[in-house]
Amino acid sequence: MKRQKRTKEQLVADVTANWLKLADVIVGKSGPVKTYRDFCHACGLYPQNFSAIQKRERMVPLECAALACEVFNCSLNWMFANQGDMFEREDMLSKVEEIEERLKAMEKKLKAK
């Protein structure tokens, strides 16, 4: 069966929905990111845009979704193609430690500016 090609608008809408699911999972767990504000910062997005994205008045930039995948070890395949699991398969403890290290590095970079 041939897959239908998505328009850019459909892709961005799907990625926005997945990004919001990821935000709920990351903020909902007891981990290094406790608020949606912190989640937005980690994704390179101004927190004041989060509400508009939730209401679908704005779509998440694809670059921010890709950064979220990198920071939170989320599957690019899941985020952009709706295929596979949300997270790459690996030990959860090492994932949390890796996220904490990445966030600390980002905080250092932000403080240095």
End-to-end CA distance of the chain: 52
3 in any annotated domain? no
Three-state secondary structure call for residue 75: coil
19 in any annotated domain? yes
Calculate ∠ Cα 19-22-28, nearest 5°. 140
Q: Which amino acid is at 53?
A: I
> Cα(48)–Cα(35) distance, rounded to whole angstroms?
13
Select the highest-mean-pLDDT range: 15-24, 28-37, 82-91, 97-106: 15-24
Instruction: Determine the structural domain holding residue 48 and report its residue range.
Output: 8-112
Whole-number average pLDDT of the chain = 88
2 in any annotated domain? no
> Cα(49)–Cα(51) distance, rounded to whole angstroms?
6
Confidence (pLDDT) at 40: 95
* Tally of domains within the chain: 1
pTM of the predicted model as reported, rounded to 2 decimal places: 0.75
